Amino acid sequence: MRVLVVEDERRLADALAEGLRADGHGVDIARDGRDAVWRATEYRYDAIVLDILLPGLSGYEVLKRIRAANVWSPVLMLTAKDGEYDEADALDLGADDYLTKPFSYVVVHAHLRALMRRGRPERPTILLAGDLSFDPATRRCVRGEVEIILTARESAVLEYLMRRRGEVVGKLELLEHVWDAHFAGDPNIVEVYVLRLRRKIDAPFGRSSLQTVRGAGYRLTDGDSP
């Protein structure tokens, strides 16, 4: 998934971004409220991690403005404040979840996974495509009864394609959501990871579930039985 982290505390923002990237997610960082509003309304994010105490505009104001602009990405609010009224205000303004500092990265990531399941019409805990299953929480991939070992990045590519099962996903879209908008490497890296996935989830089982749509991108289907 692609996540916007809105946090002016540099060390915390960088730590969150580093953890999310290590887990195979694309991450952008905004360090003030105005930049957060611009990014959230300019780009599509799967989730937004939003601090309340920000320079420029508060997290509350950011939330009001992006909801007014019909941005419905799930929002996880972060704050050093501790009080039921702060939590109530955040939720009433359109936040989807709330965490009080200090917190661990493990907890933040778990909350984001929960938001992803709740934040779209269909967010199953286990993703399925025919007899291929993938658990985003544990990154466990299974074809039939055979477990398939994937790297963090392979898991992230597969998860995004499975969430869009049956749809054509372009190379640029995969780059933005699995790497991030500022990826400066060779965009053909997407082809490399798609090929790796085919060798793991399809070839050993005589399947062709991960398809290339010429000139458009990639599509994950239920696949053909061997």
Domains of the chain: total: 2
DSSP 8-state symbol, 169: B
Residues in the chain, how many?
Answer: 226
Tell me if 117 sits within 8 A of 124, measured CB to CB.
Answer: yes
Examine the fold and report which residue of 118, 142, 166 is the final residue of a domain before the chain moves on: 118
Q: State the residue for tokens 């070992």.
A: 149
84 and 141 part of one domain: no
Tell me if 221 sits within 8 A of 211, measured CB to CB.
Answer: yes
CATH number at residue 194: 1.10.10.10
Examine the fold and report which residue of 93, 118, 143 is the final residue of a domain before the chain moves on: 118
User: 106-130: per-residue pLDDT in tens?
Assistant: 888 888 888 877 755 444 568 899 9
88 and 112 part of one domain: yes
Q: Is the pTM of this model over 0.85?
A: no
Kind and range of the H or E run holding 128: strand 127-129
Instruction: Determine if residue 147 is left, alpha or beta; phi over 0 gives left, psi from -120 to 50 gives alpha, anything else beta.
Output: beta
22 and 108 part of one domain: yes
Q: What is the pLDDT of residue 32?
A: 95
Is residue 30 pLDDT above 80, yes or no? Answer: yes
Q: How many CB atoms lie within 10 A of CB 3?
A: 25
150 and 111 part of one domain: no
Residue 108 lies in domain: 2-118
102 and 49 part of one domain: yes
Is residue 38 pLDDT above 90, yes or no? Answer: yes
- pLDDT confidence of 61, banded at 50, 70, 90? very high
Three-state secondary structure call for residue 7: coil
User: 73-92: per-residue pLDDT in tens?
Assistant: 889 998 776 655 667 777 77
Residue type, 120: R
